[in-house]
Amino acid sequence: MRIPRCMGFRRTYLVWPILLLLLVGAALTALLPPADDQGGRGVLGVLRRATSQKVNPAQGYRVDSPEEEQRFTIIIQTYNRTDILLKLLNHYQAVPHLQRVIIVWNNIGEQTPLKLWNSLGPHPVPVVFKEQTSNRMRNRLQPFPEIDTDAVLMLDDDTLVSVPDISFAFSVWKQFPDQIVGFVPRKHVSTPGGVYSYGSFELQDPETAGGDKYSMVLIGAAFFHRRYLQLFQDQPQAVHTLVDETQNCDDIVTNFAVALYLRSTGNINKPSGVFVKPVDLRNLEKDANIWLPQLCQPQESRLSSCQITDCFGLKEDRLQ
């Protein structure tokens, strides 16, 4: 039986594309480095390194990708608010780029809720309890060895900040890493009698009659560089005594110390803090009257009782 000539042409047309594909595949294979490349420089080595670098951030390892090379540590000092503390810990587990949470436990002689917290796990972000020997406000300003990130987010134990607010503030801090970046601003103005008035935006400056400025950012809801923890420790003993006697003023002291540090590095006109307006910041204990209402009162007593300028040996210091 004779095969029509047209079928022979069809077979020829099918052979050439197959041969061309084989040649292209061989050429591409020749360009690849060998799979057993020494030193892990081949494709397999690159893949292994990429896999090993993407470890769980909750395990405390650094991630080399540019997006996650900077992380931060939360510090919360607490006293007699265990129920609220557990709510806060649960909330902050969802915060991205969070390395760990350090709880400064000021309930002297009482057991921490660590076992209870672990029983509710597992948790993606580790929590470390630091038991203290005395109930001092300045306990939270210690350079704890567990802090292995440059950025520190200090939060009060009754304040809940939304995850988007924290993420945005962290991005702002990365642009201003030598300043305090936080959610609660305050201002101080000098009165004709030489006494400082302290309050929020409603406080009017007698010189400018304006109330839209701020001169400090409270550290109870703020990012700052971990070097400022040691900076606080290095302040004069009179400063530490003042904070211990008043159980207050540590936020004002920190703003003064940061402002003086910036001046010593040549940043004379740079303010100590940067205010980030929060969208969702809540006080979980609305009945609490320990210190939050005191901060909201535009009165002279807080700065005059703190006597910060005397402790620093200054006649007047502008933080703006």
H helices present in the chain, as ranges: 5-31, 43-53, 82-92, 114-119, 163-175, 227-233, 237-246, 250-264, 292-296, 301-306, 308-312
Q: 36, 251, 280, 310: which one is catalytic?
A: 251
Other Cβ atoms within 10 Å of 282 Cβ, number: 12
CA nearest neighbour of 223 among 172, 147, 295: 172
Q: How open is the CA angle 126-131-79, to the nearest 5 degrees?
A: 95
Beta carbons of 298 and 203 less than 8 angstroms apart: yes
Count of residues in the chain: 320
Q: The tokens 């007047």 sit on which residue?
A: 316
CA nearest neighbour of 80 among 290, 244, 281: 290
Structure tokens at 228: 């400022």
Helix (H, G, I), strand (E, B) or coil at 166: helix
**Is there a catalytic annotation at residue 178?**
no
Beta carbons of 238 and 311 less than 8 angstroms apart: yes
Give catalytic residue positions: 251
